[in-house]
Amino acid sequence: MEFGPILRALLRNKLGVVLIALQIAFTMTVIVNAVYIINQRGELMQRPSGVDEDNLFHIRSIGFGENFNEELAITDDLDRLRQTPGVVDATVINAIPVSNSGSSTGFSLEPGDRGSMVPSAIYYAGHRSLNTMGLELIAGVDFAESDVLIRPASSNTNAGSVIITRALAERLFSADAQSAVGQSIFTPSGQAIRVIGVVRQLQGPWPLWPEIENSAIFPEIVIDGSSMYLIRTEAGEQDRLMPAVEEMLAASNDQRILRQLRTMADTREESYRIDSVMTRILYVVIATLIFITAMGIVGLAVFSINRRRKQIGTRRALGATQGAILRYFLLENVMISGIGVLAGAALSIAFNIFLVQTFNMPRIDWFYIPAGMLVLLLVGQLAVVGPSRAAARIAPALATRSV
Amino acid sequence: MLKMTHIRKVFRTDLVETHALRDISLNVAEGEFITITGPSGCGKTTFLNIAGLLETWTDGQYLLDGQDVAALSDFQRAKLRNQKIGFIFQSFNLMPDLNLFDNVDVPLRYRGMKGAERKDRIERALDSVGLLSRKKHLPSQLSGGQQQRVAIARALVGEPRFLLADEPTGNLDSNTAEGVMELLQSINDAGTTIIMVTHDPSLASRSARNIHFLDGRIAESDHIAVAGQLEAVS
């Protein structure tokens, strides 16, 4: 291999080499960090929420008539919904998981201990909420109908029992979920709440919230003029039942309007839309940068080959086979790209440190760096194959031509 | 060493056919020093290209060392050039980005020779042309005559049996050209067969045989010396 002569020749033509190496380094820096961000977002978007998303939809009922009685309407609506063929169960709830809208609070193990409060999302849900959401109870018991507290929005007094997620139980008690059952936890107002059950998972409403796995379900129906019904259907029944349910509820009570008829899947998609759009934009940026870099490499290779046509002819005359010429330019490209990816590795790490310090992003996994180097080296080789093959086809007779 | 029989070379485009060589038949014996002369466009360089396996021909037979080279692949021709033929070009054709050592090294690398042997050969070749002390210099730091000496060292480093020189003194002043000719003469004296294209009749007169090309044919073949070794068909 002609490593030494190629390196010495490159060092005598630094400008083109430096420009392409810088372009490769810059591309690698952006690509490595962009791919990392894409993967991070992808992992976030792929996390399960803990509920039976495929078979859940929700609809909001907003009373407006003078004779509208929200409490009666809820009881009547839930009866109708649960009796509808194809509906597995239904409940009323204040917020939808990963919907970007909901309530949170903090819990402590001692009353008034605000310093050690563990943040948690709170769901106020009616009877049969666990079955409706499809949550898995891993310790304790479900709510009884008699546990449900119906209260006005102005009341700050919660029901006396709560079901929490395993993540919240482990944060609060630093022990397994079973040991949380029967224990009391305290709201910021100092009210004691008894943990009667633990579910495996229920995400909070905010997808990017660091404490998203901490959730608590209170058996409460808050009367505030607006009720969100969560309906779980049998598999494959959702599309048929959504318009039917809307029509049935509309016909049953003309003192209210119905809004926000949506599937859980739509709600999730809406919540992650920015992440999804950002991911697509990053893919476009990556593809564009790779294309531009590849074109830069092709341009440099073509320029370099055209400048050295007579040299290539001379090399062929002196005994270089076509394969030797091809290898020469591939090796030359590996060396230029090698300088670029080494600089790119340093720049990628530096840029990631900047992102970590400025935007509180997680540190990049180490394997992204060698993977990025490999990809850019491969892009360089693929880009230069065409021009190198053209160089290899230069006739040896060119050595004796005067131009 | 070299035997061409009825070699023709026609360059074809969509509109025209150019007959660069018409029925060239020539024998060159081992150790000969032949010069090729003729006006511009008479086919001298085309002949040299074919002799050096740089170019294919249209018709005829070419035996190099008894081997019919017509059927050789591009790869085999490259190997044959590397092992048996040395080239000296009018404009030297040195690699401007490589120092003298690396320039002379080029044909040896294609031979797959080990580093130590290459170094030994390169230094001997550069020494033989008086430029060993400047092996780290770039071609641009040398005079024209010195560059041609480097090119000669590069042609000789693989110890070819057959040296083709395309107007090797064409870009040199008369004093420098004289030095290069003396060098070629000594190389021939050492047993290497040389075919040299030149415009200069005085240089042609110093070879054992001069072949004059005209319009793609051998117009004249003069045995100048050592006639017993030579045979020319015109």
Average pLDDT by stretches of 10, chain B with 234 residues = 92 88 92 92 92 94 92 94 93 93 95 92 93 95 92 92 90 84 90 91 86 89 50 40
CATH architecture of the region B2-229: 3-Layer(aba) Sandwich (3.40)
Chain B nearest C-alpha distance from A344 (Å):
27
Q: Structural domain boundaries of chain A?
A: 3-46+273-400, 69-254
Task: Name the residue of chain B whose CA is nearest to A400's CA.
Answer: B89
Query: Can you give the pLDDT at residue B233?
Result: 38
> So what's the pLDDT on residue A1?
65
- Tokens 């791919």, residue? A35
Reported as type and span, the H/E element at residue A124 is strand A118-125
Sequence-ordered list of residues with C-beta below 8 angstroms from that of B114, at least 6 positions apart, any chain: none
Residue % of chain A over a pLDDT of 90: 66
Give the orientation angle of helix A273-307 with respect to helix A264-271, to 10 degrees. Answer: 50
**Which of A11, A400, A403 has the highest number of chain B CBs within 10 A, making it the mutation to test binding with B?**
A400
pLDDT at B234: 36
Smallest CA–CA separation between A314 and chain B, in Å?
A: 7
Min Cα distance A12 → chain B (Å) is 7
CB contacts of B48 in chain A (<8 Å) are 400
| A326 contacts on B by Cβ (under 8 Å) | none
First to last CA, chain A: 29
pLDDT at A214: 95
Q: How far is B88 from chain A (nearest CA, A)?
A: 9
Of B52, B81, B97, the CB nearest to A13: B97
By the 8 A CB rule, do B173 and B146 touch? no
A to B CB pairs, distance under 8 Å: 85
Asked if A396 and B166 come within 8 Å (Cβ–Cβ), the reply is no
Predicted local distance difference test score (pLDDT) of residue A29: 93
Find tokens 């003029």 and name the residue: A225
Per residue in A152-205, pLDDT tens?
888 878 888 999 999 999 999 877 778 889 999 999 888 899 999 999 999 999
Interface of B with A (CB under 8 A): 45, 48-49, 52-55, 74-75, 78-79, 81-83, 87, 89-91, 93, 95, 97-99, 102, 105-107, 109-111, 138, 154, 158, 166
Instruction: Check CB contact under 8 Å for A310 and B93.
Output: yes
Q: Which of A12, A319, A399 sits opposite B97 (nearest CB)?
A: A12
What pLDDT does B224 receive?
Answer: 56
Q: Name which of A6, A311, A318 to mutate to probe chain B: the one with the most chain B Cβ atoms within 10 A of its Cβ.
A: A318
Torsions phi, psi for B163 (to 5 deg): -115, 125
Contact A71, A148 (CB under 8 A): no
CA of A305 to nearest chain B CA: how many angstroms apart? 13
Burial A315-340 (b: 16+ CB within 10 A, else e): bbbbbbbbebbbbbbbbbbbbbbbbb
Q: Which of B56, B90, B95 to mutate to test the interface with A (most CBs of A within 10 A)?
A: B95
Q: What pLDDT sits at residue A348?
A: 93
Nearest CA among A326, A1, A312 for reference residue B109? A1
Which residues are CB-neighbours of A234 under 8 A, at least 6 positions away?
Answer: A55, A86, A87, A88
Distance (Å, rounded) from C-alpha A227 to C-alpha A60? Answer: 6
Question: CA–CA distance from B124 to each of A2, A85, A304, B138 (Å)?
Answer: 21, 99, 32, 18
Is the ipTM above a cut-off of 0.95? no
Contact indicator for A231, A245 with CB cutoff of 8 Å = yes
Question: What's the DSSP call for residue A370?
Answer: H
Domain ranges of chain B: 2-229
Distance from CA of A35 to the nearest CA of B (A): 39
The CA distances from residue A277 to A34, A264, A280, B68, in Å, are 13, 19, 5, 68
Interface check for A395 against chain B (CB to CB < 8 A): the answer is yes
Token pair of A68 as six digits: 């509208």
Half-sphere exposure of B110 (CA within 13 A, CB side): 32
Q: Are A200 and A136 in contact (CB under 8 A)?
A: yes
Tens of pLDDT, residue by residue, chain A (403 residues) = 678 888 888 888 888 889 889 999 999 999 999 999 899 888 888 889 999 999 999 999 998 888 888 889 999 999 999 999 999 999 999 999 999 889 999 999 988 777 789 999 999 998 899 999 999 999 999 999 889 989 888 887 888 899 999 999 999 987 777 888 999 999 988 889 999 999 999 999 998 888 999 999 999 999 888 999 999 999 999 999 999 999 999 998 888 899 989 999 999 998 888 888 999 999 999 999 999 999 999 998 899 899 999 999 999 999 999 999 999 999 999 999 999 999 999 999 999 999 889 988 888 889 999 999 999 999 999 999 999 999 999 999 998 886 5
**Which residue in B224, B178, B211, B193 sits closest to B44, CA to CA?**
B211
B94 to chain A, closest Cα gap in Å: 8
Contact A193/A186 with Cβ under 8 angstroms?
yes
Q: Give B227→chain A minimum CA distance, Å.
A: 30
Q: What are phi and psi of A185, to 5 degrees?
A: -125, 160
Residue B230 has a pLDDT of 39
Count H helices and E strands in chain B, helices first.
7, 10
CB contact under 8 A, A12 and B45: no
Using CB atoms and an 8 Å cut-off, which of residues 5-24 of chain A contact chain B? 5, 8-9, 12-13
DSSP string, A212-258: TT-EEEEEEEEESSEEEEEEEE-TT-HHHHHHHHHHHHHHH-TTEEE
Confirm if A102 and A204 have CB atoms less than 8 A apart.
Answer: yes
Structure tokens at A41: 């977002």
Cβ contacts of B51 on chain A, cutoff 8 Å? none
Angle in degrees, CA B187, B189, B195, rounded to 5: 60
Distance between CA A85 and CA A341 in Å, rounded? 62
| Nearest residue to A59 (alpha-carbon basis) of A273, A256, A269, A272 | A256
Q: Do A395 and B81 touch (CB under 8 A)?
A: no
Closest Cα in chain B to A319: B82
Q: Using the beta-carbon criterion (under 8 Å), do B110 and A321 form an inter-chain contact? A: yes
The burial class, CB within 10 Å (0-12 / 13-18 / 19+), for B16 is exposed
Q: Give me the half-sphere count of Cα atoms (radius 13 Å) on the Cβ side of residue A281.
A: 8
- Rounded to an integer, what distance in angstroms lies between the CA atom of residue A289 and that of residue A287? 6
Please answer yes or no on whether B102 and A5 come within 8 Å at the CB atom: yes
Tens digits of residue pLDDT in A283-338: 999 999 999 999 999 998 899 899 999 999 999 999 999 999 999 999 999 999 99
